[in-house]
Amino acid sequence: MTDELDNYSDHLVTIRQDATGFMNGLSETQFNWQPAPGRWSVASCFEHLNLSAAKLFIPSIDAAITDARSRGLTSPGPFTYSAFERWCVSMNDAPARMRFKAPNVVRPQATKPMDDVRAEFIRWQDALAARIHDADGLDLRRARYKSPLPLVKWSLGAFIQLMLAHERRHIWQARQVLKAPGFPV
């Protein structure tokens, strides 16, 4: 596997270990507690990550990999991404520097049991690990997909970076819930 994809795999392992260890230390009450009405709980942060993987990230990564394979876009790298892509990745990483409103399609609606959310999170981590493996040998810069944002096309490598940054951001956000006044001990 290329160095870049190995690096993504290492980040993914770290995220998975951090997230599952963090959730393992919480009670169901703590997991679902909200700092204020309309504010996200730890459960909301992880459910958002699960919805984002299911509805945005994994389908887009699949489309980019399929398209790149069909067009024979291969390269051993290294790869350089656009300034816009790099900026988006940095703005979506932890700690959060800007607040964004989650699109309705990935906004958590109902609380779920922690074991269910954790199991789903692990499934999506496994799915991303498989996609990282599947991307080996592809040109991660020229393999692209059309973003849901008008006129934006993401390169596969930068989009994987974005997913990892997005996960780190919301795990950081979940940790902030524990620091909120009134958090159940």
Question: C-alpha distances in angstroms, 137 versus 7, 8, 110, 151, 156?
Answer: 15, 14, 40, 27, 12
pLDDT recorded at residue 105: 85
Residue 185 covered by a domain = no
Residue 29 covered by a domain = yes
151-159, long-range: CB < 8 A, 24+ apart: 154/60, 154/64, 154/85, 155/79, 155/81, 155/82, 155/85, 156/61, 156/64, 156/65, 156/68, 157/4, 157/79, 157/81, 158/81, 158/82, 158/85, 158/86, 158/88, 158/89, 159/57, 159/60, 159/61, 159/64
pLDDT recorded at residue 49: 97
Residue 122 covered by a domain = yes
H helices present in the chain, as ranges: 3-24, 28-32, 42-52, 58-71, 83-91, 114-134, 156-177
Provide the number of structural domains found in the chain: 1
Closest C-alpha to 152, from 58, 55, 59, 60: 60
Mean pLDDT (whole number) for 37-52: 95
d(C-alpha 132, C-alpha 121), whole Å:
17
On the question of pLDDT at 184 being above 70, the answer is: yes
Where does the pLDDT of residue 174 fall: very low under 50, low under 70, confident under 90, or very high at 90 and above?
very high
Residue 183 covered by a domain = no
Residue 91 covered by a domain = yes
Where does the pLDDT of residue 41 fall: very low under 50, low under 70, confident under 90, or very high at 90 and above?
very high
Residue-wise pLDDT for 55-101, tens only, equals 989 999 999 999 999 999 999 999 999 999 999 999 999 998 888 88
Residue 26 belongs to domain with CATH number: 1.20.120.450
Residue 182 covered by a domain = no
Predicted model pTM: 0.94
Residue-wise pLDDT for 106-116, tens only, equals 889 877 899 99
On the question of pLDDT at 102 being above 90, the answer is: no
On the question of pLDDT at 148 being above 70, the answer is: no
Where does the pLDDT of residue 150 fall: very low under 50, low under 70, confident under 90, or very high at 90 and above?
low
State the average pLDDT for the chain: 93
Residue-wise pLDDT for 2-22, tens only, equals 999 999 999 999 999 999 999
Residue 76 covered by a domain = yes
Owning domain of residue 106: 3-177
Contact between residue 163 and residue 57 where contact means Cβ atoms under 8 Å apart: yes
Residue 168 covered by a domain = yes
pLDDT recorded at residue 96: 86
pLDDT recorded at residue 103: 81
Where does the pLDDT of residue 151 fall: very low under 50, low under 70, confident under 90, or very high at 90 and above?
low
